[in-house]
């Protein structure tokens, strides 16, 4: 089994990128929201919300044309897929078994949005080889 890269410490977001994801998650509630992050290494340079074609409260599948447009945008800007976000409106606050089984981009950070008593929280994970490890979310407030 391939081990997770323990030197990877987290993903860097701007406050505006965090707010964009939060607004998407809130807008699509109670359905799962989803989208892609593009960047270089740990640095996020683009956040692209994508329609959940399943319109489900506990599963997501990105609408293929929108997903392809995001990939093309990232390619045109010289970016990699650095992250994938989606929400768990009814929990859990970590990857589900479906998330683990369907984690096709092992280098991407998986951001899971979940409800708390104060609103929405977000945690980040690396998923690889049937296991996951939490990583930091670093917010640049400038």
- Cα 78 from Cα 11, distance rounded (Å): 18
Q: Is 10 exposed, middle or buried (0-12, 13-18, 19+ CB in 10 A)?
A: middle
In the set 3, 15, 31, 32, the catalytic residue is 32
Task: Identify whether 92 is preceded by a cis peptide bond (ω within 30 of 0).
Answer: yes
CB atoms within 10 A of CB 29: 15
Q: Would you list the DSSP string of 96-116?
A: -HHHHHT---TTSEEEEEEEE
Q: Is 32 a catalytic residue?
A: yes
Which of 55, 14, 39, 35 minimizes the C-alpha distance to 110? Answer: 35
Token digits for 69? 């447009």
Question: Which residues are the active-site residues?
Answer: 32
């Amino acid at each position: 089994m391939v081990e997770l890269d323990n030197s990877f410490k987290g993903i860097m977001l701007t406050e505006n990128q965090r707010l964009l994801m939060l607004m998407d998650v809130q807008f699509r509630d109670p359905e799962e929201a989803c989208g892609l992050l593009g960047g270089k290494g740990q640095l996020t340079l683009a956040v692209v919300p994508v329609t959940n074609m399943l319109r489900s409260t506990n599963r997501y599948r990105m609408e293929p044309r929108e997903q392809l447009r995001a990939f093309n945008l990232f390619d045109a800007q010289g970016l990699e897929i650095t992250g994938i976000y989606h929400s768990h409106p009814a929990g859990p606050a970590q990857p589900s078994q479906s998330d683990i089984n369907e984690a096709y981009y092992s280098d991407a950070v998986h951001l899971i949005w979940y409800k708390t008593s104060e609103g929405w929280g977000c945690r980040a994970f690396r998923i690889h080889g049937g296991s996951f490890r939490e990583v930091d979310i670093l917010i640049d407030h400038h």
